[in-house]
Amino acid sequence: MLSRIMKHEWRNLSADRTLWAIALLLVVTIGYGFYNGMAWVRFQNDTLSEVATEEHTRLESVKTGIEQAEARHARLNPLSDPRSPTALGRTMGVRYASMPPGPLAAFAIGQSDLYPYYFRVSIASKQTFANNDEIEHPVHLMSGRFDLAFVILYLYPLIILALSYNLISAEKETGTLAMTLSQPIALYKVVAGKIGLRFLFVLAIAASLSVAGVVAGGADLANEGVGLRLALWFGVVALYGAFWFVLAAAVNAFGASSSTNAIALSGLWLTFVLLIPSFLNVAVKYFYPVPSRVELIQAMREASGEASAKGSRLLSKYFEDHPDLAGEKADTSDFGVTTLLTQEEVDRRVQPVLTRFDEQLERQQALVDRYRFLSPAVIAQASLFDIAGTSAHRYQHFVQLADEFHGAWRAYFGPRIIKNEPVSREDVDRFPRFRFVEEPLGQVAARVGSGLWGLAIPTALLGVIAILALRRFPVTG
């Protein structure tokens, strides 16, 4: 019986130009959103390629410079000598820590346009690279980018509501509902058939275009994790769409007119998609404000000034932390030694500010995680960003890896600077290298899984409400 209802509904819908206009709108917006996402991913990849080329060219130039200096037995300025560990660890030999776009990054730009995706790591304080943001047009940062996730979060529900705001009310107003129910069929089955057809139609467009986008983007579905991420993406899109369809059915079930249904559903869309996320954003910043960057800059300046005056005390502390170098003689007037000790002291002094910053961010995230279930849009957004690899979680994972690489870089050059040990051509190839390791997929799946439950449970509850209301639905009047 359900299949017959869906076939009959398809004949009615396919004869209506409105369906094809809505379908065309969905195709165009998804296509344009994916095009923008691909453009951003291309920009990132091109930038990372340029960064890698610059690093390779510079290090090759360093090798050539070392050979020439050794052949001439030249005495050069320590700041420009390619054999100087200070010059290499500070400027000439630095390497980049970079985070490549994920396999589904074109689906959701997310916060990847807010956070830097590569750092130039040196012996300097980590704040000199960790707080260097990519220059971006402020209008883009304020309004966000039009990508596939934007279409799913904002336009997808509107298209669904446009197809279903008058599921029952239109037939009631034209008098055909009473004729339909004169047959041996329950009203909830009629509604289920109507919703089922529309749901499959909309989901088929979104799914097919998403797969086409993955293939067009060059992603290999056979690569580890890509298939699971794509399945999770479809799961979120399907449940998010189901929520709005069932919500429309529940509103229709109370027997109001089509115009009243449209107004009610528009208000619910405004509440769930715009108002609740905005209030939540304001709340987390009000209850858990992060320390200002001015405070961080001031702490760095004070720490740098005091560190420069401490001199030998910092050197003694450095030897305490590195007992293997305790027998070395280092000159605190040497620029390289002074720079190393000062930057380590700056990191130590500003750490309390950074700790407070991280703690406040964790509290903000915990508050969002706790109250995200008030809005399906917040749940879906967090899940889609996680799947695409453009969430704050992946960025924090990258920052942690970059911080570890910064420590390894200092551990390599610090002893050489203290010993004033020259660097050879062969040593350049042994410089620490950064390797980005993806966040464990199980952690991503766990976060997305809780979001799927957060969409499924309210959808099921709305379904129960709709069925109960349909039993008392006034067919006439």
* DSSP-derived secondary structure for 342-366: HHHHHHHHHHHHHHHHHHHHHHHHH
**Backbone φ, ψ for residue 190 (5° rounding):** -60, -45
- Can you tell me the mean pLDDT for 270-280? 92
Q: How far is CA 437 from the centre of its chain?
A: 16
Q: How far is CA 286 from the centre of its chain?
A: 23
pLDDT at 190: 83
Burial of 18 (0-12, 13-18, 19+ CB in 10 A): exposed
- The tally of domains found in the chain comes to 1
- Can you tell me the mean pLDDT for 365-381? 88
Please tell me the least confidently modeled range out of 16-30, 91-105, 126-140, 270-284: 126-140
Distance CA 317, CA 407 (A): 17
Indicate the DSSP class of residue 90: I
Best CA proximity match to 251, nearest among 236, 266, 273: 266
Mean pLDDT is highest, among 17-21, 117-121, 136-140, 213-217, for: 117-121
- pLDDT (tens digit, 9 = 90+) per residue, 190-220? 888 888 888 998 888 888 887 777 777 666 6
Please tell me the least confidently modeled range out of 96-105, 198-207, 214-223, 281-290: 214-223
Name the more confident of 106 and 172. 106
- Report helix, strand and coil shares of the chain as percent, to nearest 5: 75, 0, 25
Whether residue 179 is predicted with pLDDT greater than 90 in this model: the reply is no
Strand partners, 98: 118
Q: Cα–Cα distances in Å, from 98 out to 5, 131, 471?
A: 54, 15, 59
Residue 18, token pair as written in the block = 């409105």
Best CA proximity match to 151, nearest among 109, 104, 98: 109
* Residue 62 and residue 82 in contact, taking contact as beta carbons nearer than 8 Å: yes
- pLDDT (tens digit, 9 = 90+) per residue, 400-449? 999 999 989 988 988 888 888 888 889 999 999 999 999 998 999 999 99
* Range(s) of the domain holding residue 114: 1-477
**Percent of the chain whose predicted confidence (pLDDT) is above 90:** 31
Best CA proximity match to 390, nearest among 98, 47, 114: 114
pLDDT at 138: 42
The helix/strand/coil state of 97 is: strand
What is the chain's mean pLDDT, rounded?
82
Residues 6+ apart with CB under 8 A from 317: none
Cα radius of gyration (the chain): 30
* Residue 158 and residue 440 in contact, taking contact as beta carbons nearer than 8 Å: no
Distance CA 307, CA 295 (A): 18
- Can you tell me the mean pLDDT for 100-110? 87
Name the more confident of 409 and 133. 409
Task: Please give the angle made by the CA atoms of 410, 415 and 421, to the nearest 5 degrees.
Answer: 120
pTM for this structure? 0.86
pLDDT at 450: 92
